[in-house]
Chain A
Amino acid sequence: MSDARDNGEHDKQQTSEAALSARLQRLGEGLARQRAEQTTDNAGEDRATTASGYARGFRLSSELVAGVAVGAGLGWLIDRWLGVAPWGLIVFLLLGFAAGVLNVMRSAGVVTGTRFDQGFGRDREG
């Protein structure tokens, strides 16, 4: 009697486990499918947009120019406020150039894995 009940419970447990694993498998398959779709989506996007060399070049050059311009502007302001001309302009122009190069490398995806631009890999369009 108790044996039979034990068996019954055991069976039930097994079936629920089987059901669970089946569900998990289905979930895993669904996720894999979606992920594959997403990666192919991204690949298509990449192809469509990297084909436009003009957009890519424009994006990279705007990053570099923005870096230099902000560096120069900041240096000029520091010169005016602190009266250390021309050193502020010289130092910050160089630093701005470095920041511009950093921006270019980030948006081109050469430098990855640093903290605040994992997202930059997807910024492939103009």
Chain B
Amino acid sequence: MQINPIEQFEIHDMMPMVSMGGHQIAFTNSALYMLLTVLVVSALLIAATARRAVVPGRLQSIAEMSYEFVAHTVQSTTGSEGMKFFPFVFTLFMFVLVANLIGLIPYSFTVTSQLVVTGALALTVFFVVVGYGFYRHGLHFLNLFVPKGVPSYILPAIVVIEVLSFLTRPLSHSVRLFANMLAGHITLQVFAAFIIMLAGFGVLGWFGAVLPFAMVVVLFALELLVAVLQAYVFAILTCIYLNDAIHPGH
């Protein structure tokens, strides 16, 4: 019986540690579920596009809808020029979405509830934005930090604040996904624990346990919404940041 609500986030080694170049390489349950996520996404998309029917079946519809959804998001946020980043955004979106959904299966591990994972994703986006911005615009990319129409005597302070505001992006980008998943799963676990604890009190407790059970059902539906919504938010924030790299200073 699992009462400790934090226990679900613990990392275990699945295999004995391997030492490689002086580093300990461990294959943990987190790595296992990341691998599983990638496999599920790949299998889904490969199976969905295998038949390529004119009238799509169910699987093909899923693939086409997710493609169109992300393509529309990228197009409307970054313009047609941003479509070269479509594979990047689509990969991120599908990874986060499937990881969130797999995490909702009871007894499974939620990869996106680890700050390391979401932080790595957000930092990747951040460095892609900075790298592409400088590659594409050279030093003009720095215009991003110089707002127009600001009096020159406060401009230095504004520029520093803008730079800081830019540097906070990977943090809020990753924390938003991480904290939403963490909080949701803890809430679910706490209410599920109430059921077990109440049921331990005998017949009266069984009737009492109906209340937290109803709560768990409602919360699960909410978590399903949050899982999809947070994947979308992650993707659209990526698009907004990429938009800065493509069109800085306007």
Chain A residues proximal to chain B, CB less than 8 Å: 49, 58-59, 62-63, 65-67, 69-71, 74, 92, 95-96, 98-100, 102-103, 114-117, 119-120, 122-123, 125-126
Contact = CB atoms under 8 A, between A and B. Distances in A.
Contact of B161 (A58, A65, A95): A95
Interface in B182-239: 226, 229-230, 232-233, 236-237, 239
A96 B164 contact: yes
22 contacts: A62-B175, A63-B172, A67-B164, A70-B167, A71-B164, A74-B164, A96-B164, A114-B147, A115-B144, A115-B250, A116-B244, A116-B248, A117-B240, A119-B77, A119-B236, A119-B239, A122-B77, A123-B233, A123-B240, A125-B229, A126-B180, A126-B226
B216 to A, nearest CB: 18
A99 to B, nearest CB: 4
Contacts of A115: 144, 147-148, 248-250
A40 B243 CA distance: 24
Contacts of A99: 161-162, 164-165, 168
Contacts of B226: 126
A125 B161 CA distance: 25
Interface in B141-164: 144, 147-148, 157, 160-162, 164
Contacts, number: 82
Contact of A103 (B172, B229, B236): B172
A58 B180 contact: yes
Interface of B: 77, 144, 147-148, 157, 160-162, 164-165, 167-168, 171-172, 175-176, 179-180, 226, 229-230, 232-233, 236-237, 239-240, 243-244, 248-250
A76 to B, nearest CB: 14
A58 B161 CA distance: 22
Nearest to A100: B168
Contact of B165 (A49, A67, A69, A125): A67
Contacts of B160: 95
B125 to A, nearest CB: 14
A112 to B, nearest CB: 13
Nearest to A98: B161
B180 A67 contact: no
A59 B233 CA distance: 11
Contacts of A69: 168, 171
A88 to B, nearest CB: 12
A95 B240 contact: no
Contacts of A103: 165, 168, 172
The 7 closest A-B pairs by CB, nearest first: A99-B164, A119-B240, A66-B172, A99-B165, A66-B171, A66-B168, A70-B168
B25 to A, nearest CB: 29
A113 B164 CA distance: 20
A59 B176 contact: yes
B176 A62 contact: yes
Contacts of A49: 229
B130 to A, nearest CB: 13
